[in-house]
């Protein structure tokens, strides 16, 4: 008790005194001196506007209030798209991936004690190869955007050419990640001309390819339209440029695969394969290529083998990341893969099976086209492009798209997403989850704004 009272009488320095003591210990006169190595043009003086400090109780209440403003897709009828979609997730998926042996595992550095995880990744790779028509897939990347960026980097490093021709239909966030990835690589990004919402193939055929490393085309593109991958693949083959096919994996259940169209790399977003939207992440980067390019592929590959007794087993192989081999020989510095998301995708694909995969794609296709037909029948609404779309489409509305989006929230509807710089254009995505009643409710809501 005496010791406790004595401690209460000890002087406790304030924060300014603590800071001064720390600076003195490292031989710096002021905090500003710590920033001398940072160019002045990068330093900004502004108020963070954080307000007063909050107690734990106040912070908990504030965060709860902010969280209640979110409307998850499970509580609302969602027609959101643009790369993240409201697909049905069988309850078996979270039941399995949340098991501790999967959920708490990091990465199988010691392959001999990680056989279950390695086998799951091997099955995942096999399924991605089957649906994409490619020869080999890696054990996943961060998301669709980073997968496209890694594909561009791989093409540039392999061909030694420095120009990338990118489809105007590539998602803007994908393009931004590619630009960030390649800003110091020496690779030049050129956006191809657009014609009726797709790559202008005539322009592509007639241009010079002397310095082109690859052509990047997304299908379905950001407008939901199906691009002519086969034509692009043929052009690239003739001019010895790589073809990078980017797209929603579910569309491969209905349309020609990248492998059939002559792609050198397939990159995509695997969120639609049994992974929730989760406020935009975590996601799953799909990446597959040809056998001849396998030693240039980023990430890691799980291979099947046998031990000294002839028993089957699985190992990590062809690990081209800088952490596993000499830095100067690494093809990429991509680090952790999205193993849990890849596991979800593997379970999802095994549950729906080959026939179910095609039926699911057809359901999305049929429902999206039914929805589009009903909307364009309204006065003042029109389909911006043609009917060659998969599960999302763009309509021109009689009022600004942002107004429809805002008003829709009051009706428990996520009506879609605005198309960048096109104020009256609304992008609507329809998945297998949407019932006819829900689609009709959307049409009824839009009808109240018709001319």
Q: How confident is the model at residue 40 (pLDDT cuts 50, 70, 90)?
A: confident
Contacts of 142 (CB under 8 A, 6+ apart): 283, 285, 334, 338
CB-based burial of residue 214 (10 Å sphere; 0-12 exposed, 13-18 middle, 19+ buried)? Answer: buried
DSSP annotation of 114 reads -
Q: Give the pLDDT score at 5.
A: 47
Report the percent of the chain where pLDDT is more than 90.
65
Task: Give backbone dihedrals phi and psi of 189, rounded to 5 degrees, phi first.
Answer: -100, 125
Sign (positive or negative) of CA dihedral 197, 199, 202, 207: positive
Confidence of residue 336 (pLDDT cuts 50, 70, 90): low
Q: Express as a percent the part of the chain with pLDDT over 70.
A: 91
Q: Please report which confidence band the pLDDT of residue 1 belongs to, taking 50, 70 and 90 as the band edges.
A: very low
* Cα 377-378-379 angle, rounded to 5 deg: 120
Fold of 73-86+353-447: 3.90.1150
Residue 22: count other Cβ atoms within 10 Å of its Cβ: 11
Q: Across the chain, what does the average pLDDT equal? A: 89
Assign 349 to helix, strand or coil.
Answer: helix
CA 245, CA 262: separation in Å to the nearest integer?
9
Instruction: Name the residue ranges covered by the structural domains of the chain.
Output: 73-86+353-447, 92-349
Q: Answer with the residue of higher pLDDT: 78 or 9.
A: 78
Question: In Å, how far from its chain's centre is CA 163?
Answer: 23
Residue length, the chain?
A: 451
Q: Name the one residue in this structure whose structure tokens are 């005194």.
A: 17
pLDDT at residue 267 greater than cutoff 50: yes
What is the DSSP-derived secondary structure letter of residue 332? B
229 and 200 in contact (C-beta within 8 Å)?
A: no
Q: Would you give the end-to-end CA distance of the chain in angstroms? A: 82
Residue 96 φ/ψ, nearest 5 degrees? -90, -45
In the prediction, which pLDDT does 326 show?
A: 58
Q: What tens digit of pLDDT does each residue of 41-55 get? A: 887 777 778 888 888
Packed helices 339-376 and 115-132: angle between N→C axes, nearest 10 degrees: 30
**Interval 283-322: pLDDT, tens:** 999 999 999 999 889 888 899 998 889 999 888 887 665 5
**pTM for the structure as a whole:** 0.86
3-class DSSP assignment, residue 125: helix
User: Which structure tokens are listed for 167?
Assistant: 């489809």
The SS3 assignment for 124 reads helix
Q: What is the DSSP string of 32-70?
A: GGGGTTS-GGG---------S---HHHHHHHHHHHHTT-
Residue 415 tokens read as 């009506």
Question: Could you confirm whether domain 92-349 is CATH 3.40.640.10?
Answer: yes
DSSP per position, 288-311: EE-GGGGGG-SS-EEEEEE-TTS-
Instruction: Answer yes or no: is pLDDT of 70 > 90.
Output: no
Query: pLDDT-derived band of residue 343, with 50, 70 and 90 as boundaries?
Result: very high
- Under 8 Å between Cβ of 341 and 275: yes
User: Which of 153, 361, 150, 143 shows the shortest CA–CA distance to 269?
Assistant: 143
- List, for residues 182-207, the tens digit of each pLDDT value: 998 899 999 999 999 999 999 999 99
């Amino acid at each position: 008790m005496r010791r406790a009272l004595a401690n209460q009488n000890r002087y406790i320095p304030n924060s300014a005194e603590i800071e001064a003591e720390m600076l003195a210990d490292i031989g710096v006169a002021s905090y500003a001196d710590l920033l001398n190595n940072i160019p002045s043009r990068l330093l900004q003086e502004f108020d963070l506007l954080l307000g007063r400090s909050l107690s734990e109780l106040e912070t908990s209440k504030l965060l709860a209030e902010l969280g209640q403003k979110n409307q998850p897709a499970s509580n609302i009828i969602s027609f959101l798209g643009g790369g993240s979609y409201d697909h049905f997730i069988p309850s078996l998926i979270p039941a399995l991936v949340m098991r501790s042996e999967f959920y708490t595992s990091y990465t199988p550095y010691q392959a001999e004690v990680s056989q279950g995880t390695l086998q799951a990744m091997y099955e995942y790779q096999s399924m991605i190869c089957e649906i994409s028509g490619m020869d080999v897939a890696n054990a996943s990347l961060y998301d669709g955007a980073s997968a496209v960026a890694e594909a561009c980097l791989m093409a540039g490093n392999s061909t030694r050419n420095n120009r990338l021709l990118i489809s105007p239909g590539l998602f803007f966030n994908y393009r931004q990640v590619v630009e960030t990835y390649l800003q110091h690589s020496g690779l030049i990004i050129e956006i191809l001309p657009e014609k009726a919402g797709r790559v202008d193939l005539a322009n592509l055929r007639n241009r010079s390819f002397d310095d082109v490393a690859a052509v990047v085309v997304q299908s379905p593109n950001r407008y939901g339209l199906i691009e002519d991958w086969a034509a692009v693949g043929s052009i690239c083959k003739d001019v010895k440029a790589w073809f990078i096919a980017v797209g929603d994996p579910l569309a491969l259940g209905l349309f020609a695969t990248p492998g059939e169209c002559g792609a050198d790399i397939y990159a995509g977003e695997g969120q639609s394969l049994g992974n929730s939207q989760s406020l935009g992440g975590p996601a799953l980067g799909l990446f597959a290529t040809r056998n001849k390019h396998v030693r240039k592929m980023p990430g890691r590959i799980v291979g099947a083998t046998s031990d000294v007794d002839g028993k089957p087993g699985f190992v990590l192989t062809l690990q081209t990341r800088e952490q596993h081999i000499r830095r100067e020989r690494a093809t990429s510095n991509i680090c952790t893969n999205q193993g849990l998301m890849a596991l979800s995708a593997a379970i999802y694909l095994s549950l729906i099976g080959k026939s179910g995969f095609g039926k699911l794609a057809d359901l999305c296709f049929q429902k999206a086209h039914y929805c589009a037909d009903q909307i364009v029948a309204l006065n003042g609404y029109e389909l911006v492009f043609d009917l060659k779309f998969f599960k999302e489409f763009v309509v021109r509305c009689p009022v600004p798209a942002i107004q429809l989006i805002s008003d829709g929230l009051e009706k428990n509807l996520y009506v879609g997403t605005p198309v960048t710089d096109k104020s009256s254009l609304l992008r609507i995505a329809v998945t297998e989850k949407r019932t006819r009643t829900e689609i009709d409710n959307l049409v009824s809501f839009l009808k109240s704004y018709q001319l």
